[in-house]
């Protein structure tokens, strides 16, 4: 609940507060950090610079063999997939025993590995690693 409080301050008190606030702001805005050179203990030059990150690293062109190997390696590293049962024709749900949340994690791992997004509509149709393999080959124009 809010209460109304009658202000009894005079105009001169408000003016003094505004001047004090403005002086404080001026002091803060003119503040310059002091960076000392570690050897001479003298003020060092401070320069601003921007660091940019690499958005996507250049990669070697895909081959059918490299896509197959990377896909199977990515899948075999997932803790809920038994590498001995993993083939290109293994069913994710029947043979490998994944549930829907596991499958989403697998798709995300594949997206990270191949550095592109798989639309949900396509991901829902993947039943085996071969389906994902074919999608990647089609997307990256890999036919040899």
As annotated, the active-site residues are 99
CB 135 within 8 A of CB 122: yes
CB 137 within 8 A of CB 64: yes
Rg of the Cα atoms in the chain:
31
32 SS3 class: coil
CB 80 within 8 A of CB 114: no
Torsion angle defined by CA atoms of residues 86, 90, 92 and 96, in that order, rounded to the nearest 10 degrees: -50
Query: Smallest Cα–Cα separation from 143: which of 49, 63, 77?
Result: 63
Check residue 1 and report its DSSP letter: -
């Amino acid at each position: 609940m809010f209460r109304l409080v009658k202000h009894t301050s005079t105009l001169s008190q408000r003016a003094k507060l505004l001047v004090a606030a403005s002086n404080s702001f001026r002091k803060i805005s003119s503040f310059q950090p002091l960076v000392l050179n570690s050897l001479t203990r003298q003020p060092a030059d401070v320069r601003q610079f921007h660091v940019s990150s690499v958005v996507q690293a250049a990669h070697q062109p895909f081959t059918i063999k490299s896509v197959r190997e990377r896909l199977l390696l990515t899948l075999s590293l997932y803790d809920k997939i038994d590498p001995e049962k993993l083939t290109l024709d293994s069913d994710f749900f029947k043979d490998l025993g994944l549930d829907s949340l596991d499958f989403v994690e697998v798709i995300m791992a594949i997206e990270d590995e191949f550095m592109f997004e798989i639309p949900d509509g396509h991901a829902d149709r993947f039943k085996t690693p071969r389906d994902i393999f074919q999608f990647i080959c089609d997307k990256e124009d890999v036919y040899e």
